[in-house]
Amino acid sequence: MKTTEEIKKIHQAVISTGNKHKLEEIGAILEDFNLEVLSMKDVNLEGLEIIEDGNTFEENALIKAKAVMERTGKLTLADDSGLEVDVLDNQPGIYSARFSGENATDEKNNAKLLKMLEEVPFEKRTARFVCAMAAVFPNGDTIVLRGECPGVIGFEAKGKSGFGYDPLFIVEEYNQTFAELGEEIKNKISHRARALEKLKKELILRLGSD
C-alpha cells in the first residue's frame, strides 16, 4: 500500500527551468491533467547548475529533465530550444543563447548573425526555430520530441515584442517577425507551442486526462 507521500509524488510534475515564461507555458498544457505543477523553487532546486553538454537539443532537454527527476523522484519536464540557419550549417543551434561568446546578449547575438549573413540573399536565409521537449518519469521512462517553426532571417531587426532572435525571424505565413506578431500569435504557432502540443498527446496516452 502506497504512503500519502508516494501518492502525492505520482500527482506532481516539476518543470526544470528558471525561466518564468517557460514555466507558465509548459505549466499551461498540464492543466488538463490531475497534476500539481511545481517550479524549481518549489522543490528547493532554484539556482541548480546543470551542465548541458549534449550535442543536440534533445540531449540537452533530457539532461535537464533527468537531473531534476533524480533529485526529486517526481515526473519532470524540460526543454531546450534555439535557432538553426540552413546556409550556416544549422548554426547557431544549441549555442543560440551564447552565440556571440561568454558575455552574450540578444543584441550581440543578433549582430553576429546579421554579419555572417551579410552577403546572403533573402531566398537563401531560410531557418527554423527548434524546441526539444523531454519528460522523465520516476520509473525511468522518458519522452523526447521536437517542434519546429520555419521562417527566414531578415536583414534588420523589426518589432518590439519577444526576445532572442525574434526581431530577425520572419514567419513566412505572416510575413512578419515574431517580434512584430506579438506574444499571443507567437505562442500559438511557435516551435515550443508545437512541441508542447505533441507532448500533451503523449502525456494523455501515459496519464489520461480529466
**Residue 177 is assigned to a ligand binding site:** no
**Residue 20 is assigned to a ligand binding site:** yes
**Residue 73 is assigned to a ligand binding site:** no
**Residue 166 is assigned to a ligand binding site:** yes
**Residue 191 is assigned to a ligand binding site:** yes
Who contacts 113 (Cβ-Cβ below 8 Å, separation ≥6)? Answer: 85, 92, 99, 153, 165, 168
**Residue 41 is assigned to a ligand binding site:** no
**Residue 192 is assigned to a ligand binding site:** yes
List active site positions.
Answer: 80
Neighbours of 80 (CB within 10 A): 26
**Residue 128 is assigned to a ligand binding site:** no
**Residue 81 is assigned to a ligand binding site:** yes
**Residue 210 is assigned to a ligand binding site:** no
Annotated binding site for Mg(2+): 80
Annotated binding site for substrate: 17-22, 81, 163-166, 186, 191-192
Annotated binding site: 17-22, 80-81, 163-166, 186, 191-192
